[in-house]
Structure 1
Amino acid sequence: MLNTLKRASLAMLSMMTALLLTFAMPASAEEQSSKVVQQEITQLAGADYWREVREGQEGYTTSQSPEHGVLISKPGETWYILKEKWMSPAGAVAIFGSIAMVIMAYVFVGPLMLSKPRTGKKMKRWSRLDRALHWSMAFTFLTLAFSGLMLVYGKHFLKPYVPTEFWGFIVMLAKQYHNYMGPLFFILLMFVLLKWWRKSIPNMTDIRWFMKMGGMVGKHKGTHPSAGFSNGGEKAIYWLLIFFGAIVAVSGLVLDFPIFGQTRRDMELSNLVHAISALILICGFIFHIYIGLFGMEGALEGMVTGEVDETWAKEHHDLWYEEVKSKEAMGETESKPTTEKGAKANEQTS
């Protein structure tokens, strides 16, 4: 019995010794290993290492994509400064400045009204296809502009005042909408180019129209300079849309599909070009929207119904009016009274 107890005591003592050695030795080994790793990290992440990283030197990676071995892109800092410190503030000034200008134009100059009463006789100006294309482009452009402005300026004007989760949802929604609707804008732009380019070719009449400032301001207000189907201002807006719209669309597609070997610099340049061109378009269409809604009597009516009053046509597009009337004389087209007043006036002159 005594021998059995001795053997058990020795066994327990051996086990305790083994356990103590087990905990003590790995601690010492761990400590030594930790010191080695720390030394390696210190050597790896030294000043020389990070200097090379910041200079954009490329390391090794199994990825074959361009610049994937570059941890820090030095030109990216320049892109960030240009975007956040210069482009964003300048864009905000341009947009608010454009809004201020149209408000001042409305208050101090006032809308351009018809100088003579309406006849009640309507002239066909826009087909259903024209109007469908116009309003589709208008909706697409305005919603893309809103979502784009939200992505650029929302963090300054909205983010501080809404819950973080809600802000994240807004950004996600704006980004996804912008990405998926962008290609549709490009398709609509091609239709706009094909549909209206013939009516938008500049000529000398447009130069005279601009010299008289469209008859909208100053000493020329109410003079109604001559114009064909499209006046100089409409042609300017059209080519502004085509030129900068194409830049916005192409640069947007580059950003939408970064799978064709684009480098960081390609994406950064596309981002800047996309944003600047979009801001120019937004400012231009602030004036277009003002003219359509408030600045000219009868302008919106034509794009909603497709028809304009003869008085409006004669005062704002006299050359087109004369062309239509000459075709009427040859029996090719016909103006029809569409109001009771216009019908009575037509009966009296018949």
Structure 2
Amino acid sequence: MSEPRDILPEDEIHRGPPMTVSRYGPGKRLNHWITASCLILLALSGLPLFHPTLFFLTRLFGGGQNTRMLHPWIGVVLFFSFFIFFAQLWRANLPVRVDVQWTAQIGDFIGGHEDRLPELGKYNAAQKLIFWGMAFFIVVLIASGLVIWDQYFENVTPIALRRAAILIHSICAVLIILLFILHVYAAFWVRGTLRAMTRGSVTGGWAWRHHRKWLKELAGRGRIDQAK
């Protein structure tokens, strides 16, 4: 019997006590933090290039020239880092029918009445939205960024295209910053979530409350360690 698409190789229930559930392996956690660090560095280096009032941020990178030089290279690292992550998780983030119902009842989620929500797999609709939003914006940012990377592509891109690329790049940069802030806020707001990306596991109670279908699938398929 094939595994459901939202069950990954490292997903496993540990009896404890206390009972915990493995959610992310060391490689995925490292990749996540590299991606997050790149997003922060790109925001700090990109904002001073966006508006002169924020030029003081270039001091963090040793001045304006260093900032202009480092910014696109950090973007390249972000692109490859995120899409290694993307290749591992895209199937688990595909929309399913229950996501529509969850979205319609998002007020219950915000209000803390998750007992009224349908049982979920590894990710809810909001997590999937952030995942696919990040993927979309990163693709657009790397494509538009290459067009305006003067050091390598100034002589092969027409001025009109570069002007359009600057506008698109700026808009998408603002939107991905807002999406990143939403992601960070949700990680702290839903207590116990951040642990998944620091320790790699969540508590059994957290899994039962937020992703009960995923937990039941792990148990039903015998994804339980043999520790006593």
Q: Which has the larger radius of gyration?
A: 1
Question: Which residue of structure 2 lines up, in the alignment, with residue 123 of structure 1?
Answer: 21
User: What SS is found at the alignment partner of 1:216?
Assistant: helix
Partner of 2:215: 321
User: Which deviations, in whole Å up to 9, do the C-alpha atoms of 1:240-293 show, x marking residues without a partner?
Assistant: 01111100011111222325621111111111111111111111111100111x
Q: Which has the larger share of helix?
A: 1
The percentage of counterpart residues that share the same residue type is 25
Partner of residue 141, structure 1: 39
4+ runs deviating over 3 angstroms: 165-169, 220-224
What is the alpha-carbon distance in structure 1 between the residues aligned to residue 134 and residue 76 of structure 2? 16
The CA deviation at 1:178 is 0.2
Cα contact 2:144–2:168 (8 A) shared by 1: yes
One-letter amino acid matched to 1:290: Y
Distance 1:284 1:224, change over 3 A: farther
1:38 is aligned to none
User: Deviation per CA, 1:10-30, whole angstroms, max 9, x where unpaired?
Assistant: xxxxxxxxxxxxxxxxxxxxx
CA distance in structure 2 between the partners assigned to 1:189 and 1:312 by the alignment: 26
Q: Output the aligned Cα RMSD.
A: 2.6
Say whether 1:305 aligns with 2:196.
no
Letter in 1 for 2:205: T
Structure 1: gaps of 5 or more residues: 1-118, 337-346
Are 2:156 and 1:261 aligned? yes
Question: Helix, strand or coil: the match of 1:299?
Answer: coil
Query: Is the partner of 2:175 in helix, strand or coil?
Result: helix
For structure 2, the residue ranges without an aligned partner over 5 or more in a row are 1-16
Q: CA deviation at 1:189?
A: 2.9
- Tell me the amino acid that sits aligned with residue 186 of structure 1: F
- Determine if contact 1:248/1:278 at 8 Å carries over to the other structure: yes
Distance of aligned partners of 1:168 and 1:189 in 2 relative to their CA distance in 1, 3 Å threshold: closer
* Secondary structure of the corresponding residue to residue 63 of structure 2: helix
Q: How does 1:1-350 map to 2 (within 5 A)?
A: 120-153=18-51, 155-157=52-54, 170-213=63-106, 215-218=108-111, 221-223=113-115, 225=117, 226-256=119-149, 257-259=152-154, 261-292=156-187, 294-328=188-222, 332-334=223-225
Give, in whole Å, the separation in 2 of the partners of 1:168 and 1:131: 26
Task: Measure the CA separation in 2 of the matches of 1:312 and 1:168.
Answer: 40
- Within 2, Cα distance between the matches of 1:232 and 1:243? 16
Q: Normalising by the residue count of structure 1, what TM-score does the alignment of the two structures yield?
A: 0.55
Aligned to 2:11: none
Contact 1:121 1:335 in 2 (8 A): no
Distance in 1, matches of 2:122 and 2:73, equals 35
Asked if structure 2 preserves the Cα contact closer than 8 Å seen for 1:183 and 1:253, the reply is no
Distance 2:37 2:60 in 1: 24
Cα distance between partner residues in 2 of 1:167 and 1:186: 22
